[in-house]
Amino acid sequence: MGKRPAHWSAALTELLSTVGTRGSRDFVQRNSRYVEWRLRHPLRSFTDFYVAEESKRLDAGMVHPSLGRNRVLFDGYPMVQLLIKAGLQADHRLVDYGCGSLRLGRELIAYLAPDRYWGLDVTARFFRDGLQDCPPDLIREKRPRLALISRRVLRELAASPPDFVIVSGVFHHIPLRQTAQVMRNLARISGQHTKVYIGFLASDVFEQVGPYSFRHPPSLLLDLARRAGLGGELLRLTDQEDLAKPIRTGLMRLERLSAPLG
């Protein structure tokens, strides 16, 4: 075998940081697309790989569980009602971190007062598709703020923290190292009054179940949150066995600690 490019090790190091088990045939097969992609794009990240892969699916018009105009129908009403019971008011400011194609954002935009909804994601492609499915009058009236996740936007939010932050459909698409970074971002934009709600796919151990699909034990997420400066609790675990592939979903609530733990 010829000598591999120097940046092969960087791709492999990031890849191995995503899972706890190394060397299995399933592991190699599951991640072959990422390693091949990373070798062609040595300066790009796992998030860039995820965006590139999902954008190809959307461009092909494929039905997607949560993104694009051909996404699976989603009822965001129960989540909005949960937030209202938790104290969300129409004049509060809410950040939808990883807003995707606004499948939950549309309900929140309708409920909140103008200029109070912030939707953030890693690519504008996702929320542009969502905007096309929102009534134009609603967008003109409510003026949602949609932006890429960036240092500038995080600084702006840190200077004036929101009342609520929701994270839905983010953690099960990013590797472990980036999970810790997202927790740090959430801590950065949270004030003492901010309530953070996180939805995730749960399992007993951290595991990779697809090329960019991950499941987390609640204890791991709570530990990463504490290290970032957020404390909280697991609200519920729900087994959804009526799906083709049964899954367990989790929901937790976090708030800012006085100081991070590590």
Say yes or no: 26 and 90 in one domain. no
pLDDT at position 5 over 70? no
Find the radius of gyration of the CA atoms of the chain: 19
Say yes or no: 146 and 240 in one domain. yes
Give Cβ neighbours of residue 105 (< 8 Å, ≥ 6 apart): 96, 99, 117, 119, 127, 130, 144
Report if residue 27 sits inside a domain.
Answer: yes
Report if residue 63 sits inside a domain.
Answer: no
- Confidence at residue 239, expressed as pLDDT on a 0 to 100 scale: 87
Q: Is 153 exposed, middle or buried (0-12, 13-18, 19+ CB in 10 A)?
A: middle
Say yes or no: 89 and 180 in one domain. yes
Say yes or no: 149 and 22 in one domain. no
Say yes or no: 82 and 34 in one domain. no
67 SS3 class: coil
Instruction: Please compute the mean of the pLDDT values over residues 61-81 and round it to a whole number.
Output: 58
Say yes or no: 132 and 245 in one domain. yes
32 is in which domain, residue-wise? Answer: 8-44
d(CA 225, CA 247): 23
Which of residues 87 and 131 earns the better pLDDT score? 87
CATH code, domain carrying 206:
3.40.50.150
Give Cβ neighbours of residue 209 (< 8 Å, ≥ 6 apart): 215
Q: Is 140 exposed, middle or buried (0-12, 13-18, 19+ CB in 10 A)?
A: exposed
Structural domains in the chain (count)? 2
- Confidence at residue 28, expressed as pLDDT on a 0 to 100 scale: 57
Q: What pTM did the predictor assign?
A: 0.83
Report if residue 65 sits inside a domain.
Answer: no
Percent of the chain residues topping a pLDDT of 90 = 43
258 SS3 class: coil
Say yes or no: 15 and 145 in one domain. no
Lowest mean pLDDT among 11-25, 29-43, 84-98: 11-25
Report if residue 72 sits inside a domain.
Answer: no
For the chain, what percentages of helix, strand and coil (3-state, to nearest 5) are there? 40, 20, 35
Neighbours of 169 (CB within 10 A): 18
- Confidence at residue 104, expressed as pLDDT on a 0 to 100 scale: 87
Report if residue 262 sits inside a domain.
Answer: no
Say yes or no: 98 and 207 in one domain. yes
| Confidence class for position 60, pLDDT limits 50, 70, 90 | low
- Confidence at residue 214, expressed as pLDDT on a 0 to 100 scale: 85
| Confidence class for position 23, pLDDT limits 50, 70, 90 | very low
Report if residue 57 sits inside a domain.
Answer: no
> What amino acid is encoded at 222 in this protein?
L
Say yes or no: 15 and 124 in one domain. no
Say yes or no: 15 and 142 in one domain. no
From the list 195, 207, 165, the residue with the least C-alpha distance to 182 is 165
Say yes or no: 40 and 84 in one domain. no
Instruction: Please compute the mean of the pLDDT values over residues 9-33 and round it to a whole number.
Output: 56
Instruction: Please compute the mean of the pLDDT values over residues 62-88 and round it to a whole number.
Output: 68
Say yes or no: 36 and 161 in one domain. no
Lowest mean pLDDT among 14-18, 116-120, 177-181, 182-186: 14-18
